[in-house]
Structure 1
Amino acid sequence: MSLPKPSTNKHNSINSLVNKHMKMVDKFVSELQQLDVKLWIEGGNLRYKAPKEKLTPDLLAQMKDRKEEIINFLSQPHPTNTNYHGSLIAKPENITVDKVANLSYKEFASRYLNPLQPVVITDAIQDWKALSTWTPEFFKNNYGSKEVTVDTQRYQLRNFIDLVLASTEEKPCSYLKDTDIPGLFTELLADIEPTLLYSQYNWLLSPMLYIPAADPVKQRNAFLELLIAGQGTKFPILHFDYWHLHAFIMQVYGEKEFTLFSPVQTEYLYPVDTSSNRSLIPDIHQPDLEQFPLFAKATPIKVIVKPGETIFVPSGWWHTTRMLTPSIAVTMNCLTNSNWDRFSQDLTRDLVNSLTSLKNHQSRITILESNISSYLDNLVRLLASVDPN
């Protein structure tokens, strides 16, 4: 028995409705294009970049309401409207890092924090005393006897500073990192005030959040750390910050070049494993393309950060640095609603791994993971209740 043929009129009517709907979406997308709004899909989510004066609250609301429609439209390999040229979609290689000043927190949240876009803010720490006092000589003269660990080796700070000042592109010194400012240089906290405006809703500082796997001092101060290195020194690892935390790096002295890769390029960056935030590539400036052939497809985004400037590196963005001069910087991490989901996944994984052993039954692990997830789900509701974002 043959199946009845669908009604031609009904079929045409459906096609007409689909085409009409697509034209409406295309029209809206074209209007965004005329406003120089760039859109792209990242990790299944809609991302955007636009001049601040172009995105009105009404337009932002429309983009939010029509998010799924826009994602479906951009996902099509050949959009139906012949006027569409693809120039609306921002490819990773076309994304640059803005340098901005006089940025309100609301503007920062809407343009960079929530869309997960890096930015350099040129005046965020303009009132810090450290800008006029912190130099390599300052640390050598005032804290020379302090002991610091650099790449597992212990130094008196004065001796390490000598290495920093002698560092060259050909013979770079090691990189002082993971140095807790509140613990080792408590009295210098006054030099880096006021607190960064753009981290004012940092959930890491909330007493409601307790991370047993983190150092309590670092947790209270949002992993506030000192970075010192010499000319030619490179950060040793291409990475994104642990637990998918956001990072603010405040450049106090000297200049450094940041190289960033969008999370959509992860497949080209050879993570150690599927859950790792570290790349296997030892030096992206001189990569072994026989060993890491996919890296040839990755497109870096480079930006030079100067004294007094602050770079925001969003959750999941791969990055590394190279010192152009002797350099002193302060870094801190940040947790908000914008990176909570990935943070909670990472934290749950680490807690489960630390609280179980191979002798545990899988059922116990599943129950533990469920309890942790339930706790974090309830916690995020409390944190979000006091966060305007």
Structure 2
Amino acid sequence: METQSIASKTANNTITKIDKRSNISRQELINEYIEPAIPVVLTDATKDWKAMGKFSPEFFKKNYSHITKEIKGKTYSLPEYVDLMLKSTPENPAPYPFNFNIEHRAPELLADLKPEIIYAKSDRIKHPLLPKFMLNGTEVYEIFLGGNGGYFPFLHVDALFLHTQITQLYGSKDFILYPPEQTPFMYPREENAKISQVNVFDPNYEKYPLFKKATPLRVTVEQGETILFPTKWWHTTQIHEPCISLGRVHLNASNWNDFAKDNYLSLKKYRPGIAGPALLYTKMLGQLINLQEKAGV
């Protein structure tokens, strides 16, 4: 087992650095990072993916010209966006993000994203008894394209309290993360408590003085590397070169109850008649999966 960098902690057990790990077993991943809810960068988890070396700007420009994305009121075709991202600069950045759901828009690409990284004892997000409508508001597999000078528009916690996996398929990306215990400094929005009001790249300390107390963890995820981090970690990204990323969400025992509750609150807004039954079903399904995982099914 190799370790590229060793995470250090303060006396009160606060993480001060994100590990980069290679040749780590699944059980080591679970014991050392998933169960303690610690972010980690895996340097070689996707070395056998066919997507590596294939998913380039030219590949998407040539083969997926039909995909479009509206960003800030303007619609771009994928080829148009690729041209913008390749010439993007901090002074004139390409709009960000250009993202799309792979399962809906390019399902044939899923075969190039294997073997899967399993962020738990089982892949609960794909459990056959988990209805698709319970994942409303998120994407299981999502491609993000961006250029130099781009950054994600807000500091946030991911929808439905799902865990996050992001692999750099092309180029690198900087990740800025804040642990859950710093939530009091994040000034969550009233209408959506998973989004911060603070512009992390140009914070207004007069309006948000507690944000001065926030201490970020920063890590550059290079091409071929994968960052995994648990739910409730506030995060955003910054780009310094053309890049293509794959986002993937995860469910396990640790975020199941938060997922069930958030899904219930979401359903109350757009399908109120099934919100209560769905919450009961999700709790029962969680108990079933717990037994299946214990039995090694």
Q: Establish whether TM, by shorter chain, passes 0.5.
A: yes
CA distance in 2, matches of 1:188, 1:209: 23
Q: Are 1:349 and 2:265 matched, yes or no?
A: yes
Equivalent runs, 1:228-377 vs 2, <5 Å: 228-273=145-190, 276-281=193-198, 283-356=199-272, 371-377=277-283
Q: Are 1:381 and 2:291 matched, yes or no?
A: no
Aligned residue identity for 1:284:
V
TM-score, normalised via structure 1 length? 0.69
2:3 maps to which residue?
A: none
Q: CA distance change for structure 1 residues 100 and 138 in 2, over 3 Å: closer, same or farther?
A: same
Q: CA distance change for structure 1 residues 141 and 284 in 2, over 3 Å: closer, same or farther?
A: same
1:119 maps to which residue?
A: 40
CA distance in 2, matches of 1:252, 1:149: 23
- Contact 1:113–1:338 (CA<8 Å) still a contact in 2? no
Instruction: Please give the secondary structure, in 2, of the residue aligned with 1:111.
Output: helix
Aligned residue identity for 2:255:
N
Q: Which has the higher helix share?
A: 1
1:183 Cα deviation from its structure 2 partner: 1.6
1:184 maps to which residue?
A: 105
Q: Deviations over 1:254-308 (max 9, x none)?
A: 1111000001001101100386211111x20111111111111100000000011
Paired residues in the alignment total: 290
1:108 maps to which residue?
A: 29
Instruction: Please give the secondary structure, in 1, of the residue aligned with 2:148.
Output: coil
Q: CA distance change for structure 1 residues 305 and 227 in 2, over 3 Å: closer, same or farther?
A: same
Instruction: Please give the secondary structure, in 2, of the residue aligned with 1:132.
Output: coil
Answer with 308-317 or 139-148: which moved more.
Answer: 139-148
Aligned residue identity for 1:327:
C
Q: CA distance change for structure 1 residues 270 and 315 in 2, over 3 Å: closer, same or farther?
A: same
1:60 maps to which residue?
A: none
Q: Are 1:89 and 2:9 matched, yes or no?
A: no
1:203 Cα deviation from its structure 2 partner: 1.1
1:9 maps to which residue?
A: none
Aligned residue identity for 1:185:
A
Identity of aligned residues (%): 35
Query: Rg bigger for which structure?
Result: 1
Q: CA RMSD in A?
A: 2.6
CA distance in 2, matches of 1:87, 1:375: 41
1:15 maps to which residue?
A: none
CA distance in 2, matches of 1:332, 1:183: 14
Q: CA distance change for structure 1 residues 132 and 372 in 2, over 3 Å: closer, same or farther?
A: closer
Instruction: Please give the secondary structure, in 2, of the residue aligned with 1:346.
Output: helix
Equivalent runs, 1:166-181 vs 2, <5 Å: 166-181=87-102
CA distance in 2, matches of 1:210, 1:285: 38
Gaps of 5+ in 2: 1-5
Instruction: Please give the secondary structure, in 1, of the residue aligned with 2:165.
Output: strand
Aligned residue identity for 2:206:
E
CA distance in 1, matches of 2:278, 2:231: 22
Equivalent runs, 1:148-159 vs 2, <5 Å: 148-159=69-80
CA distance in 1, matches of 2:234, 2:153: 13
Q: Deviations over 1:57-116 (max 9, x none)?
A: xxxxxxxxxxxxxxxxxxxxxxxxxxxxx964223xx52111001111111111111211
1:65 maps to which residue?
A: none
1:212 Cα deviation from its structure 2 partner: 2.4
Gaps of 5+ in 1: 1-48, 52-85, 357-364
Answer with 299-308 or 139-148: which moved more.
Answer: 139-148
- Contact 2:98–2:145 (CA<8 Å) still a contact in 1? yes
Aligned residue identity for 2:123:
N
CA distance in 2, matches of 1:295, 1:248: 26
1:214 Cα deviation from its structure 2 partner: 3.5
CA distance in 1, matches of 2:106, 2:10: 50
Q: Deviations over 1:201-235 (max 9, x none)?
A: 221111211152545xx98xx61000000011001
2:130 maps to which residue?
A: 209
Aligned residue identity for 2:59:
F
CA distance in 2, matches of 1:166, 1:154: 18
1:193 maps to which residue?
A: 114
CA distance in 2, matches of 1:147, 1:275: 27
Q: CA distance change for structure 1 residues 145 and 177 in 2, over 3 Å: closer, same or farther?
A: closer
Aligned residue identity for 2:209:
P
Aligned residue identity for 2:218:
K
CA distance in 2, matches of 1:200, 1:227: 27
Aligned residue identity for 1:106:
Q
CA distance in 2, matches of 1:250, 1:103: 16
The structure with higher relative contact order (CA 8 Å, sep 6+) is 2
Instruction: Please give the secondary structure, in 1, of the residue aligned with 2:259.
Output: helix
- Contact 1:149–1:176 (CA<8 Å) still a contact in 2? no
TM-score, normalised via structure 2 length? 0.89
- Contact 2:55–2:170 (CA<8 Å) still a contact in 1? yes
